Structure 1
Amino acid sequence: MSIIPFQALACPLDGEPLNQSGSAWSCPAGHSFDIAKHGYVNLLPVQQKRSSDPGDSNAMVAARRRFLNSGHYQPIAEALSSAVFDHTEREAPSDALLRCLDAGCGEGYYLRALAQAAPNGQSLSLMGLDISKWAVQAAAKQDDKQAPQSRWVVGSNANLPVQSATLDRVLCMFGFPMYHEFARVLKPGGVLIQVEAGPDHLRELRDIIYPSLKPERASAPESPAGFIPSGTENLRYALTLSDTETMTDLLAMTPHFYRATTEGREKAAELKTITLTVDVRVVRWARV
């Protein structure tokens, strides 16, 4: 098994291939992007930003790192890895290299778990992308500086700095799918894997922080343009948290932190212990 950083990057300004030379990536037109000291590259031009510091803050990234590294979502990581490697022995790519992008990688937890779960004989080419520079910086810091496993990139799912039809897998973890871009960068037969919250995900916490919960709409998702369904798996388990710091970290790493009322956040901060339902769906879409 070998794991190497993904190479087929594209210029975010003109879409042309990027090539690495020394400490920078550049395209034929001369656009150049320096590699940061921690090993990542920022491919998010100012004109593609909606704010001066988009994405998760440094504090949110730190909270997510502490929570995930405690193993609370390890079953999700295991289900994701199974979905990534399912049927790979039947695909038999010509170069036996599986190229995978985590679109919205956060601090890199799921991509690191994927690398550890790779079966014997399976070679990987990995890339993690996030719009938050703090998230990408945290991911790059945790990689092996002597032999990095992943290419870490600051960028946007809406304009992926990736050459077309170069990926076998795209992961979207609780994120914002941009199906047209995912379809563009996936090879025919490649697979988009989405992990999304089910109707009961963290319901016990939501019952506390919200005055009322909106009813869930029970409808089967329509196939995005360019994709056909390739299977859905449901994962459900109980998670007991018994310290205030972990519960605070969980709340801080979710959108609920900003959506909850002040009263709701105060109630959550007073909790000493809580048992939560983890309810997620792993949905696979095949690129046609």
Structure 2
Amino acid sequence: MSTDAFNALACPLDGNPLAPFGACWRCPSGHSFDVARQGYLHLLPVQKKRSLDPGDSKEMVAARQRFLNAGYYRPIAEVVNAAVLQSAADEPRTLSGLDAGCGEGYYLRELAAADTGAKLALMGLDISKWATLAAAKQDKRPRWVVGSNANLPVLPGALDFVICLFGFPVHGEFARVLKRGGMLIEAHAGPSHLRELREIIYPSLKPEKLSAAEAPEDFSLVDAKTVCYPLTLDNPGAIADLLAMTPHLYRASAEGRSRAEALTTLTVTVEVILRRFALPESDAIY
């Protein structure tokens, strides 16, 4: 695969096109955004932050990086890759894609490494500067951007596909930046996902809310797949990383966290629902 950086960026302040000028990107209005030394671009204006350091912490990002790089979630990446590359198989042109909420970039790296002759222009975006920094350090090919799904710094109709895996989808923004006929892939935890871990750290489990099967506004459902398999973690470090990379670390009581910390081995169910949506080929919806 030939992987390049996605460049159809928009100014997060006024929506005008951004263009590179040396070590920064500028729009016609004069707004300028510096490229960090590590190679990522910060396009989350201070006035649009909800906190001083939004998104995952440095510690959460490090735990996720160790866990994902160990290959524990590779079956999920393989299904995502197949969906993207199926669309790319018959396309002679470059396909542009965004990972909206990319974390430390694992799924984009897996996509770039997939065995295919497709040519992709990729961008990973996350609201956490620590996540984007980690992604930029591991792979220089995609464009890595600090930004928000609520205000994607992408020009309208510039993307062939968007993936949003365990993130916070903003479907109106996804529809705005996708081309007509563009594809959206979303991943959500299934009802049995990590159930064994949750049974250890919580005194009781609430009934899981199944995510709606219907397509979000502006999109049509293409298909849905469930990735489900048992995963055995045979060392305390991997168990600690799994807990640290999920919201359960902060939701669990001190007693629940202590029970998890005492584990030396753990087998959990991985259950992830992947849905593929399409933006209609008719007039774009902006």
2-structure distance, mates of 1:245, 1:186: 40
How big is the shift at 1:2?
1.9
How far apart are 1:217 and its partner, in Å? 3.3
- 5+ residue gaps, structure 1, are none
Of 114, 117, 125, which aligns to 2:114?
A: 117
Q: State the 1:140 CA deviation.
A: 0.4
Residues 113 and 267 of structure 1: CA distance in aligned 2, closer, same or farther (over 3 Å): same
Asked if 1:99 is matched to 2:91, the reply is no
- Decide whether aligned partners of structure 1 residues 247 and 38 sit closer, same or farther in structure 2, where only a CA change above 3 A counts: same
Q: Are the counterparts in 1 of residues 190 and 210 from structure 2 also a CA contact under 8 Å?
A: no
Deviation string 1:145-177 (CA, Å, 9 cap, x unpaired) is xxx310000000000000011001101010110
Query: 1:45-79: per-residue Cα shift (whole Å, max 9, x none)?
Result: 01110000000010111000010111111111111
- The offset of 1:221, in angstroms, is 2.5
TM-score (norm 2): 0.95
Letter in structure 2 aligned against 1:128 = G
Output aligned runs, 1:1-288, within 5 Å.
1-90=1-90, 92=91, 96-120=93-117, 122-143=118-139, 148-218=140-210, 220-288=212-280
Separation in structure 1 between the aligned mates of residue 248 and residue 95 of structure 2, nearest angstrom: 35
Cα separation, partners in 2 of 1:33 and 1:87, compared to 1, 3 Å: closer
Could you report, residue by residue, the CA deviation over 1:215-252 in whole angstroms, capped at 9, with x for unpaired residues?
12346423211100010011111100111111001000
Aligned-residue sequence identity (percent) comes to 60
| Separation (CA, whole Å) in 1 of partners of 2:148 and 2:211 | 29
Distance 1:269 1:135 in 2: 25
The 10-residue stretch of structure 1 (190-199 or 207-216) with the greater mean CA deviation from structure 2: 207-216
Question: How many angstroms apart in 2 are the aligned matches of 1:254 and 1:247?
Answer: 11
The alignment yields a C-alpha RMSD, in angstroms, of 1.1
Following superposition, the deviation at residue 104 of structure 1 comes to 0.5
Q: In structure 2, do the counterparts of structure 1 residues 200 and 189 end up closer, same or farther at CA, with 3 Å as the change threshold? A: same
State the alpha-carbon separation in 2 of the partners of residues 119 and 33 from structure 1. Answer: 34
Instruction: Please report how far the alpha carbon of residue 83 of structure 1 lies from its aligned counterpart in structure 2 after TM superposition.
Output: 1.4
Offset, 1:84: 1.2
Separation (CA, whole Å) in 1 of partners of 2:25 and 2:115: 28
Cα gap change, 1:110 to 1:212, in 2 (>3 Å): same
CA distance in 2, matches of 1:171, 1:24: 27
Q: In structure 1, how many angstroms separate the alpha carbons of the residues matched to 2:31 and 2:266?
A: 51
Q: Distance in 1 between matches of 2:134 and 2:53?
A: 15
Given that 2:34 and 2:41 are in contact with CA atoms closer than 8 Å, whether structure 1 keeps it comes out as yes
Q: Aligned to 1:175, what secondary structure does the other structure show?
A: coil
Q: Give distance in 1, aligned partners of 2:18 and 2:5.
A: 14
CA distance in 1 between counterparts of 2:219 and 2:34 reads 35
Instruction: Give the total of aligned pairs.
Output: 280
Superimposed CA distance per residue, residues 233-278 of structure 1 (whole angstroms, 9 cap, x where no aligned partner): 1111110011111100100000111111111111100111111100
Q: Which runs of 5+ in 2 are unaligned?
A: 281-286
- After TM superposition, the score normalised by the length of structure 1 is 0.95
Residues in 2 aligned to 1:226 and 1:88: alpha-carbon distance in whole angstroms: 22
Give the C-alpha shift of residue 198 in structure 1: 0.5
SS of residue matched to 2:250: helix
